[in-house]
Amino acid sequence: MKDIQQLRHDLREGVIAFPVTPFHAKDWSLDLAGYRKNVEEMMDYPLAALVAAGGTGEMYSITPEEQVALVKATVEISGGKIPVIAGAGFGGGLSVVMAAEAEKHGADGILMFPPYYPGADFEGLLDYYKGIGKATKLGLLLYGRDWVNLTPGQVERAAAEIPNLAAFKDGQGKVRDYQRTIQRVGDRLNWIGGIGDDCVPGYYSIGIRTYTSSVATIAPKLSIQIHERAAAQDQAGLLDLMNKYVLPLYDIRARRKGYEVTVMKEAMNILGKAGGVVRPPLPQLNPGEREEIAKLMKAYGPVL
């Protein structure tokens, strides 16, 4: 287990990967062997961190027992080489159990998802985050996504009142607002670009140097190239990667709600990785789209 300062050091730049949680098509049961194989392959690349049971990992559809199994497997495979961050969410009861269990089984940090109750008052939301912070000594990543769209002042207050808050992961993609938040809070937190590989140009233009990549589930090599070109301000090279690989994939992902995971899993299946199927309420793939994804994965050859 890494202390908070070491975690922040490790997250200062690079690619944070989100392994999917593969499920068997027959009964939606957890394919833990497939998950382990996927993570083992990811360890061949210089990633900044791995997130067990994150958004791409369908945190909201797994059981507490499955979360523990995923965290334990990821910690074992990483062997302390890179941080393992565990997702926690749902509500004020289950979230603290998930955080404590993740720490018990060797995680290095906690990614705090919005609670199940949408539109909560900020005071209640802050108490929710504080509860997770009190349940673990691990560094926390506050995840602003979906209905959690915090103002700069609210992020500043969370940073002041939660001692082990280590980083903020943006899931809104509003670069103007994010820039204002960073300016107000400063280096009290690490700042992570967290809505998608396609937003790296915007994130890195305001000084961010760490981003969370779902593309890393299929092509870690591409994710690292995206980071390197963006960090070097190689605009032409970055645009080339966006146009050839990232934007065509994200165009398919944007067709239906929940397709962010569905499409990535099918791409993994096509590439011979353990993708499996999604659990409800995420949608299964539309007929005919597998061929479209297969064609795109063939074009991915140079970055696999």
For 256, the token pair is 């239906």
Active-site choice (72, 169, 265, 273): 169
Is 45 catalytic? The answer is no
Alpha carbons 171 and 183: distance in angstroms, whole number: 18
Active site residue 298: no
Catalytic annotation, pick one of 35, 143, 178, 211: 143
- Catalytic residue positions? 143, 169
